[in-house]
Homo-oligomer: A and B are copies of this chain.
Amino acid sequence: MRFFFPLLLLLLGQIATTSATQWRTLDPNNTLLMTLPHGKVVIELAPQFAPKHVAQFKALTQQGLFDHNKFYRVIDGFVAQAGPEARRDRAPNLTMEGEWQPSKTWAFTLVQKEDLFAPQTGFVDGFAVGYDEKDNHAWLTHCPGILAMARGNSPDSASSHFYFTIGQAPRYLDRIMTIFGRVVYGMNHIQAIQRTAVIAGDKTIAPSQYTKIIKMQLMSEVPKEQQIIIEVERTDSNDFKEKLKKRLARKSAFFYKKPPQVLDVCQVPILSRRLK
Protein backbone atom coordinates (compact mmCIF):
# COMPACT_ATOMS: atom_id res chain seq x y z
CA MET A 1 0.00 0.00 0.00
CA ARG A 2 2.93 2.33 0.51
CA PHE A 3 2.91 3.49 -3.09
CA PHE A 4 -0.70 4.38 -2.89
CA PHE A 5 -0.69 7.16 -0.35
CA PRO A 6 1.55 9.98 -1.57
CA LEU A 7 -0.19 10.52 -4.89
CA LEU A 8 -3.61 9.84 -3.40
CA LEU A 9 -2.92 12.66 -0.96
CA LEU A 10 -2.29 14.96 -3.88
CA LEU A 11 -5.74 14.15 -5.15
CA LEU A 12 -7.39 14.44 -1.74
CA GLY A 13 -5.57 17.73 -1.32
CA GLN A 14 -7.52 19.02 -4.29
CA ILE A 15 -10.83 17.81 -2.95
CA ALA A 16 -10.22 18.99 0.61
CA THR A 17 -9.85 22.63 -0.42
CA THR A 18 -13.38 22.81 -1.83
CA SER A 19 -16.19 24.77 -0.20
CA ALA A 20 -19.75 25.77 -1.03
CA THR A 21 -18.81 28.98 -2.84
CA GLN A 22 -16.44 27.05 -5.02
CA TRP A 23 -19.20 25.37 -7.02
CA ARG A 24 -21.57 26.48 -9.71
CA THR A 25 -24.49 24.63 -11.27
CA LEU A 26 -24.69 24.10 -15.00
CA ASP A 27 -27.47 25.62 -17.08
CA PRO A 28 -29.44 22.55 -18.29
CA ASN A 29 -30.25 24.53 -21.45
CA ASN A 30 -26.56 24.68 -22.25
CA THR A 31 -25.63 21.19 -21.14
CA LEU A 32 -25.61 18.09 -23.33
CA LEU A 33 -26.13 14.48 -22.34
CA MET A 34 -24.43 12.18 -24.85
CA THR A 35 -25.27 8.53 -24.33
CA LEU A 36 -22.69 6.09 -25.70
CA PRO A 37 -23.07 2.30 -25.66
CA HIS A 38 -20.59 2.10 -22.79
CA GLY A 39 -21.58 5.13 -20.70
CA LYS A 40 -22.97 8.63 -20.36
CA VAL A 41 -21.09 11.85 -21.03
CA VAL A 42 -22.05 15.36 -19.88
CA ILE A 43 -20.83 18.36 -21.85
CA GLU A 44 -20.99 22.01 -20.86
CA LEU A 45 -21.60 24.30 -23.84
CA ALA A 46 -20.04 27.74 -24.10
CA PRO A 47 -22.55 30.17 -25.65
CA GLN A 48 -20.62 33.06 -24.07
CA PHE A 49 -17.65 32.27 -26.32
CA ALA A 50 -19.15 30.69 -29.44
CA PRO A 51 -22.86 31.62 -29.55
CA LYS A 52 -23.57 30.65 -33.16
CA HIS A 53 -21.83 27.29 -32.92
CA VAL A 54 -23.69 26.48 -29.73
CA ALA A 55 -27.04 27.55 -31.18
CA GLN A 56 -26.58 25.41 -34.29
CA PHE A 57 -25.32 22.39 -32.34
CA LYS A 58 -28.29 22.63 -29.98
CA ALA A 59 -30.73 22.88 -32.87
CA LEU A 60 -29.21 19.82 -34.57
CA THR A 61 -29.31 17.99 -31.25
CA GLN A 62 -33.01 18.79 -30.87
CA GLN A 63 -33.64 17.53 -34.40
CA GLY A 64 -32.10 14.19 -33.36
CA LEU A 65 -29.40 14.53 -36.01
CA PHE A 66 -26.65 13.07 -33.84
CA ASP A 67 -28.61 10.04 -32.67
CA HIS A 68 -27.13 6.81 -34.10
CA ASN A 69 -24.26 8.78 -35.62
CA LYS A 70 -20.84 7.08 -35.58
CA PHE A 71 -17.42 8.30 -34.52
CA TYR A 72 -15.81 7.75 -37.91
CA ARG A 73 -12.41 9.34 -37.31
CA VAL A 74 -10.82 8.41 -34.02
CA ILE A 75 -7.06 8.74 -33.73
CA ASP A 76 -5.54 7.73 -30.43
CA GLY A 77 -3.86 10.65 -28.69
CA PHE A 78 -5.55 13.16 -30.97
CA VAL A 79 -9.31 13.38 -31.65
CA ALA A 80 -12.58 11.45 -31.70
CA GLN A 81 -14.67 12.90 -34.51
CA ALA A 82 -18.28 12.33 -35.55
CA GLY A 83 -20.88 14.19 -37.52
CA PRO A 84 -23.85 13.48 -39.72
CA GLU A 85 -24.56 14.60 -43.23
CA ALA A 86 -26.98 17.45 -42.72
CA ARG A 87 -29.26 19.34 -45.05
CA ARG A 88 -27.71 22.70 -45.97
CA ASP A 89 -30.74 24.63 -44.72
CA ARG A 90 -30.54 22.90 -41.34
CA ALA A 91 -26.77 23.12 -40.95
CA PRO A 92 -25.51 26.16 -42.82
CA ASN A 93 -21.81 27.01 -42.73
CA LEU A 94 -20.77 28.90 -39.64
CA THR A 95 -18.44 31.85 -39.35
CA MET A 96 -15.38 31.14 -37.16
CA GLU A 97 -15.76 31.96 -33.49
CA GLY A 98 -12.24 30.99 -32.49
CA GLU A 99 -11.32 34.11 -30.52
CA TRP A 100 -12.86 37.21 -29.05
CA GLN A 101 -12.00 40.56 -27.48
CA PRO A 102 -12.67 40.35 -23.76
CA SER A 103 -14.08 43.26 -21.80
CA LYS A 104 -11.93 44.88 -19.12
CA THR A 105 -14.02 43.22 -16.40
CA TRP A 106 -13.86 39.60 -17.55
CA ALA A 107 -13.36 36.97 -14.82
CA PHE A 108 -10.00 35.71 -16.09
CA THR A 109 -7.97 33.68 -13.61
CA LEU A 110 -4.35 33.77 -14.70
CA VAL A 111 -2.49 30.46 -14.69
CA GLN A 112 0.74 31.10 -16.54
CA LYS A 113 2.57 33.84 -18.38
CA GLU A 114 4.76 33.01 -21.35
CA ASP A 115 3.21 29.63 -21.92
CA LEU A 116 4.68 27.93 -25.01
CA PHE A 117 1.64 28.79 -27.15
CA ALA A 118 0.22 31.95 -25.61
CA PRO A 119 1.44 35.10 -23.84
CA GLN A 120 -0.95 34.19 -21.01
CA THR A 121 -3.09 31.22 -20.10
CA GLY A 122 -5.86 31.01 -17.56
CA PHE A 123 -9.46 30.06 -16.93
CA VAL A 124 -12.79 31.69 -17.60
CA ASP A 125 -15.95 29.86 -16.48
CA GLY A 126 -13.99 26.60 -16.16
CA PHE A 127 -12.69 26.80 -19.73
CA ALA A 128 -8.94 26.97 -20.40
CA VAL A 129 -8.17 30.20 -22.22
CA GLY A 130 -5.22 31.69 -24.06
CA TYR A 131 -4.83 35.46 -23.91
CA ASP A 132 -2.77 38.05 -25.71
CA GLU A 133 -2.86 41.29 -23.77
CA LYS A 134 -1.16 43.25 -26.55
CA ASP A 135 -4.06 43.06 -28.95
CA ASN A 136 -6.63 42.08 -26.28
CA HIS A 137 -7.54 38.76 -27.87
CA ALA A 138 -8.63 35.63 -26.03
CA TRP A 139 -9.40 32.11 -27.22
CA LEU A 140 -10.40 28.73 -25.85
CA THR A 141 -7.47 26.30 -25.95
CA HIS A 142 -7.46 22.68 -27.13
CA CYS A 143 -7.03 20.96 -23.77
CA PRO A 144 -8.10 17.31 -23.52
CA GLY A 145 -11.87 16.96 -23.48
CA ILE A 146 -12.87 20.06 -25.40
CA LEU A 147 -15.65 19.89 -27.99
CA ALA A 148 -14.97 21.75 -31.23
CA MET A 149 -16.39 21.94 -34.72
CA ALA A 150 -14.53 20.29 -37.57
CA ARG A 151 -14.25 22.19 -40.82
CA GLY A 152 -12.79 22.10 -44.34
CA ASN A 153 -9.86 24.26 -45.45
CA SER A 154 -12.03 27.34 -45.49
CA PRO A 155 -12.20 28.90 -42.01
CA ASP A 156 -15.95 29.44 -42.24
CA SER A 157 -16.95 25.93 -43.28
CA ALA A 158 -17.96 24.25 -40.01
CA SER A 159 -21.55 23.06 -39.88
CA SER A 160 -22.32 19.73 -38.18
CA HIS A 161 -19.16 17.61 -37.76
CA PHE A 162 -17.40 17.84 -34.42
CA TYR A 163 -14.55 16.39 -32.39
CA PHE A 164 -13.40 15.79 -28.85
CA THR A 165 -9.67 16.04 -28.07
CA ILE A 166 -8.44 12.80 -26.47
CA GLY A 167 -4.68 13.25 -26.09
CA GLN A 168 -1.96 15.77 -25.37
CA ALA A 169 -3.47 19.17 -26.16
CA PRO A 170 -3.08 19.99 -29.91
CA ARG A 171 -2.60 23.66 -29.10
CA TYR A 172 -1.55 24.41 -32.68
CA LEU A 173 -5.27 24.25 -33.51
CA ASP A 174 -6.06 27.13 -31.14
CA ARG A 175 -7.71 30.18 -32.74
CA ILE A 176 -8.26 28.40 -36.07
CA MET A 177 -10.97 26.03 -34.87
CA THR A 178 -14.09 26.91 -32.92
CA ILE A 179 -14.23 25.29 -29.50
CA PHE A 180 -17.72 25.49 -28.07
CA GLY A 181 -17.92 23.07 -25.14
CA ARG A 182 -16.07 20.72 -22.84
CA VAL A 183 -16.63 17.38 -21.16
CA VAL A 184 -17.43 17.79 -17.45
CA TYR A 185 -18.39 14.17 -16.75
CA GLY A 186 -17.58 10.83 -18.38
CA MET A 187 -14.28 11.69 -20.08
CA ASN A 188 -13.31 8.05 -19.46
CA HIS A 189 -16.11 7.05 -21.84
CA ILE A 190 -14.79 9.45 -24.50
CA GLN A 191 -11.37 7.81 -24.04
CA ALA A 192 -12.94 4.38 -24.60
CA ILE A 193 -14.42 5.26 -28.03
CA GLN A 194 -13.29 2.74 -30.66
CA ARG A 195 -10.24 4.02 -32.55
CA THR A 196 -10.79 3.94 -36.31
CA ALA A 197 -7.16 4.66 -37.26
CA VAL A 198 -4.66 1.84 -36.85
CA ILE A 199 -0.91 1.73 -37.39
CA ALA A 200 0.53 0.40 -40.64
CA GLY A 201 0.39 -3.39 -40.69
CA ASP A 202 -2.37 -3.70 -38.13
CA LYS A 203 -5.84 -5.08 -38.77
CA THR A 204 -8.20 -2.39 -40.03
CA ILE A 205 -11.35 -1.58 -38.07
CA ALA A 206 -14.61 -2.22 -39.91
CA PRO A 207 -17.15 0.63 -39.83
CA SER A 208 -19.53 -1.77 -38.10
CA GLN A 209 -17.19 -1.62 -35.08
CA TYR A 210 -17.23 2.18 -34.87
CA THR A 211 -18.72 3.62 -31.68
CA LYS A 212 -22.24 4.91 -32.17
CA ILE A 213 -23.92 7.76 -30.33
CA ILE A 214 -27.07 6.23 -28.91
CA LYS A 215 -28.59 9.59 -28.10
CA MET A 216 -27.57 13.24 -27.87
CA GLN A 217 -29.91 15.41 -25.79
CA LEU A 218 -30.12 18.80 -24.20
CA MET A 219 -30.11 18.08 -20.45
CA SER A 220 -33.19 20.30 -20.07
CA GLU A 221 -35.09 17.92 -22.36
CA VAL A 222 -34.01 14.72 -20.60
CA PRO A 223 -36.76 13.28 -18.35
CA LYS A 224 -36.06 14.48 -14.78
CA GLU A 225 -35.38 10.98 -13.41
CA GLN A 226 -32.69 10.37 -16.05
CA GLN A 227 -30.95 13.71 -15.69
CA ILE A 228 -27.36 13.82 -14.45
CA ILE A 229 -26.84 16.93 -12.36
CA ILE A 230 -23.23 18.11 -12.31
CA GLU A 231 -21.69 21.02 -10.47
CA VAL A 232 -18.38 22.43 -11.63
CA GLU A 233 -15.62 24.12 -9.67
CA ARG A 234 -15.66 27.91 -9.99
CA THR A 235 -12.42 29.05 -11.56
CA ASP A 236 -12.97 32.65 -10.43
CA SER A 237 -13.15 31.71 -6.72
CA ASN A 238 -10.45 32.45 -4.18
CA ASP A 239 -10.42 28.75 -3.34
CA PHE A 240 -9.46 27.94 -6.89
CA LYS A 241 -6.78 30.62 -6.98
CA GLU A 242 -5.35 29.19 -3.76
CA LYS A 243 -5.36 25.74 -5.36
CA LEU A 244 -3.35 27.08 -8.29
CA LYS A 245 -0.79 28.54 -5.88
CA LYS A 246 -0.45 25.23 -4.04
CA ARG A 247 -0.13 23.36 -7.30
CA LEU A 248 2.65 25.71 -8.32
CA ALA A 249 4.53 25.45 -5.00
CA ARG A 250 4.35 21.61 -4.69
CA LYS A 251 5.09 21.71 -0.99
CA SER A 252 4.32 18.03 -0.34
CA ALA A 253 7.28 15.99 0.86
CA PHE A 254 6.74 13.84 -2.22
CA PHE A 255 8.45 16.60 -4.22
CA TYR A 256 11.87 16.04 -2.71
CA LYS A 257 13.20 18.22 -5.52
CA LYS A 258 10.87 21.03 -6.60
CA PRO A 259 9.69 21.05 -10.21
CA PRO A 260 9.86 24.28 -12.26
CA GLN A 261 7.39 26.85 -10.91
CA VAL A 262 5.18 26.78 -13.97
CA LEU A 263 1.76 25.37 -14.77
CA ASP A 264 0.43 23.87 -17.98
CA VAL A 265 -3.16 25.18 -18.18
CA CYS A 266 -4.24 21.88 -19.75
CA GLN A 267 -2.85 19.89 -16.84
CA VAL A 268 -4.85 21.68 -14.11
CA PRO A 269 -7.90 19.56 -13.26
CA ILE A 270 -11.19 21.43 -12.93
CA LEU A 271 -13.29 19.42 -10.52
CA SER A 272 -16.84 18.30 -11.12
CA ARG A 273 -19.21 16.74 -8.61
CA ARG A 274 -22.43 14.89 -9.15
CA LEU A 275 -25.57 15.91 -7.30
CA LYS A 276 -27.92 13.41 -8.93
Which residues of A does B touch, CB under 8 Å? 2-8, 11, 15, 72-73, 75-79, 81, 83, 112, 115-118, 143-145, 150-155, 157, 161, 166-176, 185, 187-188, 191-192, 195, 197, 199-202, 250, 252-257, 259-260, 262, 264, 266-267, 269, 271-275
Contacts and interface: CB of A to CB of B under 8 A. Distances in A.
Given A6-B152, A7-B150, A264-B116, A185 B199 contact: yes
A191 B112 CA distance: 28
Given A174-B259, A259-B174, A169 B264 contact: yes
A188 B195 contact: yes
A83 B168 contact: no
A268 to B, nearest CB: 9
Nearest to A157: B2
B11 A75 contact: yes
A160 to B, nearest CB: 8
